[in-house]
Amino acid sequence: MNNLKGAAILGQSGGPTSVINASAAGVFIEALKQPNITHVYGAIHGIRGILNEEFYDINQEDLKELELLKTTPSSEIGSVRHKLKPLDQDDSEYRRLLEVFKKYNIRYFFYNGGNDSMDTCNKISKFFKDSGWECFCMGVPKTIDNDLVITDHCPGYASAAKYVATTMMELYKDASVYDTPMITVVEVMGRNAGWLTAASALASYKGLGPDLIYLPEITFDLDKFYSDVEEVLKRRNGKCLIAVSEGVKDKDGHYIPETFATLDKDSFGHSQLGGTATILANELKKRFNTKVRGIEFSLMQRCGQHLASKVDVTEAYQAGVRAVKAAVSGKTDYMIGFKREMKNGKYHCKYILVPLHEVANAEKKVPLEWIINNGTMLSEEYVKYALPLIQGDCKAPLEDGLPRFARLKKVLVNK
Amino acid sequence: MNNLKGAAILGQSGGPTSVINASAAGVFIEALKQPNITHVYGAIHGIRGILNEEFYDINQEDLKELELLKTTPSSEIGSVRHKLKPLDQDDSEYRRLLEVFKKYNIRYFFYNGGNDSMDTCNKISKFFKDSGWECFCMGVPKTIDNDLVITDHCPGYASAAKYVATTMMELYKDASVYDTPMITVVEVMGRNAGWLTAASALASYKGLGPDLIYLPEITFDLDKFYSDVEEVLKRRNGKCLIAVSEGVKDKDGHYIPETFATLDKDSFGHSQLGGTATILANELKKRFNTKVRGIEFSLMQRCGQHLASKVDVTEAYQAGVRAVKAAVSGKTDYMIGFKREMKNGKYHCKYILVPLHEVANAEKKVPLEWIINNGTMLSEEYVKYALPLIQGDCKAPLEDGLPRFARLKKVLVNK
């Protein structure tokens, strides 16, 4: 336990998830309990809110509404995509941050995001240290991409994975309804790592999922893709369900829309609308002369709180709680990580401290040995990895049959 | 009660819903109980299964799995889009149906679908009557479009509406996460009637829904659309959430993709990919030079069983049960309809019999007086109409954190 009294602030950064607010709830509720934390702030739109001195006064919120944050999707205090310049190039923003921290006597800083955000948190922490401002800086992980290193998995991933697997099962059912041929191509988020697309394999192992799954970890070859599809169509009587990551790239490193922008010589400079699924669906239609549907899970996969995993919500909340506890106990420059422990064959999550510099800007991909069937399916190892994470439901309470999300007062702190 | 002993068969037709299997469960479970019903069949892919003598033997199914049909999306026995030719043009299919009915002594015929299917049911019933084959024919309604006349609403609508409203609330949250301008255009199903798109207004009345809602009931004017959006962007600090029916048409009766195929003179015959949302999103991007996202709810809105309304599942099941009870009591040529009754301010559904010929091929649209704000929002009358229908949850039980859908044995009947 350290004895430094001061205010705490939480900022959030990057794309939201179904459970990023659960982590905020963890930070806020735990921070409000801590005697050494004199005030709790929520930075509006992450680091930008701190630079602009735009905070919500969390002390004025009702506990009941803070609890409801656990089941409110997206980022209630607002997120941002803002990368600090390297300190040796431009230190103006760092100095501004320090000024604001001093003004409000902020001694506990929590930053909730992916690997970029962990880098930001790390940079700020270093600058404060060098400037002699004692401040405990902790990272709280978040990303549907599941691509942070060292931690077993990331808050936000399991709920998005549950959305992908459940919806794939429903789509499989829907795509089987007619006795006519039908190809369905579903695009899943993930620019570099295929974790979320991999989750569609959970549906395949239930017998109600994609026949073919393409991750960005494997180079995407169009000709192989067509012959993969052809083989499935023969075997499955004209039906084929495909999951493809938005991040698949050809041998030259081009995403599908880029590939086609190049290939499509007749287009006279017209850029085709639509993403990977739409473009592939269109090509398959031409090639196989069959009904094809391109579907994009779009933002629904990251904000589908109604399909949140209970394990995920619990862990996301605990990540926030543990970050506060670690900071007040004197820890700094760590991210809360998850370590998987199996006790009597049952999954158990142990919360660990991961040095920020080890996660900053690093990226964890799906192990290549988990990608089987000539790059079109995930192995049972993946299923064993993912299944414990998607257990249980944890959706918002209903009001008039619709989700009752948190309603914060959002009282602005006077500058 | 009539005394005619014979077999019963159920066929399903048209696009599936989250609860069409619930109606099948109602027909099957009730039919298996009826002493006058000697055998229960499920026609594989609707009328085509009858023509081809391809049935599942429902007597061989476990009751537990039939119960699970209540929470299994899509059509487990398969659906079809097959319109019988007018009798005076070609009676061959009618004669074939009669032959099959006689072979299996089918005296109870249930057809589950929309207005086309009610027409089919009606035609078959008439032909049997004229041919002297005593058979009790009942329609069971189904459509996410909610466009059947006379009945207050249709099974399948409420669950799809709940999907649309809930997901809109989540998208609203997601679209609010950054402090940068952002337009989101969401396309909802419904070629002619705007009922399902209207459901997005339920989110708006919660303060977390579209700013602008466009139904096919109102002529879609591109210039007005742009100025509507511009006004919202000014008022809402660069944000705008739009729900648009796939069925909106310009003054010449063209759908959006057709309109742009005509407008886009430079395209050299290239047809643009994507539907209404993608195209509108692209146009808005050009016009307002801001971030725009086009989203299609696609098949998810009709197969999203995990967001099924309990009221809908119950009513869909009861529609099946009541159809069987009506048939064995000697009724024929009716569809089960719903009549809304308010008892002490509480919604109550009364099951009624609607003559098939009155629903066949007719279409009910959203009342124009419910469309307000110069054609961009729904009135409170709509909210009062829709809210009681989306109450309660009724999702499939979980197995490994994923839905456990019905697993029928699907024993084929020997020809």
Average pLDDT over residues A185-213: 97
Residue B104, pLDDT above cutoff 80: yes
- Give residue-wise pLDDT tens across range B245-261: 999 999 999 999 888 87
Q: Are B101 and B93 a contacting pair, CB within 8 Å? A: no
Minimal Cα–Cα distance from B387 to chain A, Å? 7
Minimal Cα–Cα distance from A64 to chain B, Å? 19
pLDDT score of A264: 54
Q: Are the Cβ atoms of A266 and B270 closer than 8 angstroms?
A: yes
Residue B307, pLDDT above cutoff 90: yes
Average pLDDT over residues A182-189: 97
Q: Amino acid identity of B45?
A: H
Minimal Cα–Cα distance from A374 to chain B, Å? 27
- Which residues of chain A make contact with B73, given a CB cutoff of 8 A? 170, 173-174
Radius of gyration of chain A (CA): 23
**A353: pLDDT confidence band, cut at 50, 70 and 90?**
very high
CB-count exposure of residue A261 (10 Å: 0-12, 13-18, 19+) = middle
Q: Are the Cβ atoms of A401 and B162 closer than 8 angstroms?
A: yes
Give the full edge-to-edge strand order of the sheet including B182-188. Answer: B212-214, B239-245, B182-188, B291-296
CB-count exposure of residue B345 (10 Å: 0-12, 13-18, 19+) = exposed
Catalytic residue among B88, B91, B130, B145: B145
- Which residues of chain A make contact with B270, given a CB cutoff of 8 A? 266-267, 270
Place of tokens 């990023």: A20
- Give residue-wise pLDDT tens across range B127-177: 999 999 999 999 999 999 999 999 999 999 999 999 999 999 999 999 999
Residue B325, pLDDT above cutoff 80: yes
- Give residue-wise pLDDT tens across range A57-108: 999 999 999 999 999 999 999 999 998 989 899 999 999 999 999 999 999 9
Question: How many helical (H) and strand (E) elements, i.e. helices and strands, does chain A have?
Answer: 15, 15
Q: Are the Cβ atoms of B170 and A300 closer than 8 angstroms?
A: yes
pLDDT score of A265: 45
Radius of gyration of chain B (CA): 23
Q: Are the Cβ atoms of A390 and B401 closer than 8 angstroms?
A: yes
Query: Taken in order A123, A128, A130, A135, is the CA torsion positive or negative?
Result: negative
Q: Are the Cβ atoms of B293 and A293 closer than 8 angstroms?
A: no
pLDDT score of B270: 44
Minimal Cα–Cα distance from A81 to chain B, Å? 8
pLDDT score of A263: 61
Q: Which residues contact A365 (CB under 8 A, 6 or more apart)?
A: A147, A192, A193, A194, A216, A217
Q: Are the Cβ atoms of A274 and B279 closer than 8 angstroms?
A: no
Partner-chain residue, chosen from A75, A208, A278, that has the shortest CB–CB distance to B177: A75
Residue B264, pLDDT above cutoff 70: no
ipTM of the complex: 0.96
Average pLDDT over residues B227-250: 97
Residue A270, pLDDT above cutoff 60: no
What pTM, to 2 d.p., does this model score? 0.97
Q: Are the Cβ atoms of B173 and A74 closer than 8 angstroms?
A: yes
pLDDT score of B238: 96
Minimal Cα–Cα distance from B110 to chain A, Å? 18
Chain A residue closest in CA terms to B17: A174
Average pLDDT over residues A273-299: 91
Q: Which residues contact A121 (CB under 8 A, 6 or more apart)?
A: A109, A111, A137, A138, A139, A335, A356
Degrees (nearest 5) of the Cα angle B379, B384, B388?
145
- Which residues of chain A make contact with B398, given a CB cutoff of 8 A? 392-393
Average pLDDT over residues B56-79: 98
Spatial separation of the C-alpha atoms in residues B246 and B372, rounded to whole Å: 19
Spatial separation of the C-alpha atoms in residues B355 and B184, rounded to whole Å: 43
Q: Are B386 and B199 a contacting pair, CB within 8 Å? A: yes
Which of A202, A299, A412 should we substitute to test contact with B (largest number of B Cβ atoms within 10 Å)?
A299
Spatial separation of the C-alpha atoms in residues A280 and A264, rounded to whole Å: 13
- Chains A and B form CB pairs within 8 A to the count of 183
pLDDT score of A274: 62
Q: Amino acid identity of A104?
A: Y
Which of A20, A52, A159, A174 should we substitute to test contact with B (largest number of B Cβ atoms within 10 Å)?
A174
Q: Are the Cβ atoms of A270 and B274 closer than 8 angstroms?
A: no
Q: Are the Cβ atoms of B178 and A81 closer than 8 angstroms?
A: yes
pLDDT score of A2: 76
**B273: pLDDT confidence band, cut at 50, 70 and 90?**
low
pLDDT score of A5: 97
Spatial separation of the C-alpha atoms in residues A125 and A122, rounded to whole Å: 5
Query: Could you tell me what percent of chain A has a pLDDT over 90?
Result: 92
Half-sphere exposure of A397 (CA within 13 A, CB side): 7
- Give residue-wise pLDDT tens across range B344-368: 989 999 999 999 999 998 999 999 9
pLDDT score of A267: 45
Q: Amino acid identity of B326?
A: A
pLDDT score of A260: 84
Partner-chain residue, chosen from B303, B390, B402, that has the shortest CB–CB distance to A401: B390
B197-208: buried (b, 16+ CB within 10 Å) or exposed (e) per residue?
A: bbbbbbbbbbeb
- Which residues of chain B make contact with A393, given a CB cutoff of 8 A? 398
Residue A198, pLDDT above cutoff 80: yes
Chain B residue closest in CA terms to A76: B177
Tokens representing residue B269 in the block: 């015959």
Q: Are the Cβ atoms of A16 and B174 closer than 8 angstroms?
A: yes
Q: Are the Cβ atoms of B171 and A299 closer than 8 angstroms?
A: yes
**B230: pLDDT confidence band, cut at 50, 70 and 90?**
very high
Spatial separation of the C-alpha atoms in residues B120 and B14, rounded to whole Å: 12
**B268: pLDDT confidence band, cut at 50, 70 and 90?**
very low
Chain A residue closest in CA terms to B209: A402
Residue B265, pLDDT above cutoff 50: no
Catalytic residue among A62, A90, A130, A145: A145
**A273: pLDDT confidence band, cut at 50, 70 and 90?**
low
- Which residues of chain B make contact with A48, given a CB cutoff of 8 A? 179
Closest residue by Cα to residue A241 from A173, A311, A160: A173
Chain B residue closest in CA terms to A264: B270
- Give residue-wise pLDDT tens across range A291-318: 999 999 999 999 999 999 999 999 999 9
Spatial separation of the C-alpha atoms in residues A246 and A188, rounded to whole Å: 6
Q: Is B228 a catalytic residue?
A: no
Q: Which residues contact A197 (CB under 8 A, 6 or more apart)?
A: A164, A188, A190, A213, A214, A215, A243, A244, A245
- Which residues of chain A make contact with B169, given a CB cutoff of 8 A? 402-403, 405
Closest residue by Cα to residue B212 from B368, B365, B372: B372
Minimal Cα–Cα distance from A297 to chain B, Å? 8
Residue B287, pLDDT above cutoff 80: yes
Query: What is the overall mean pLDDT for chain B?
Result: 95
